[in-house]
């Protein structure tokens, strides 16, 4: 299955225009990464907890997956697609790209 992706600028534009349902944004980083910088609209579900918390994810809405740089989120998107979720989108570049576009230095 091919993972769909969205460019970070396109994602932020849709977020700012409120065309993305906040229920469907999950951040798969760890708690300490989340505490450093995160999107207020996102829900933290660390990558290692995904198999146990899939019941918390929306089934009939797009799910946007974000991590630090787009690698973990891509793997989680693959996993969700393999496990029955149909509309899963990886946010390219992750929080590093989003932070850069928002003028925040993220390492």
Question: Known catalytic residues?
Answer: 67
Q: Which helix (H) or strand (E) holds 6?
A: strand 4-6
Q: Which helix (H) or strand (E) holds 64?
A: strand 63-66
Tokens standing for 25?
A: 């944004």
Distance CA 26, CA 39 (A): 10
End-to-end CA distance of the chain: 31
The residues pairing with 89 across neighbouring beta strands, listed in sequence order, are 4, 64
């Amino acid at each position: 299955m091919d993972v769909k992706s969205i460019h970070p600028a396109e994602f932020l534009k849709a977020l700012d225009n409120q065309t993305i349902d906040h229920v469907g944004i999950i951040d798969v980083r760890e708690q300490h990464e989340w505490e450093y910088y995160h999107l207020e609209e996102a829900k933290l579900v660390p990558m290692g907890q995904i198999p146990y918390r899939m019941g918390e994810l929306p089934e009939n809405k797009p799910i946007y997956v974000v991590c630090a740089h787009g690698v973990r989120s891509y793997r989680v998107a693959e996993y969700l697609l393999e496990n029955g979720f149909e509309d899963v989108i990886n946010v390219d570049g992750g929080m590093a790209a989003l932070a850069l576009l928002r003028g925040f230095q993220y390492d």
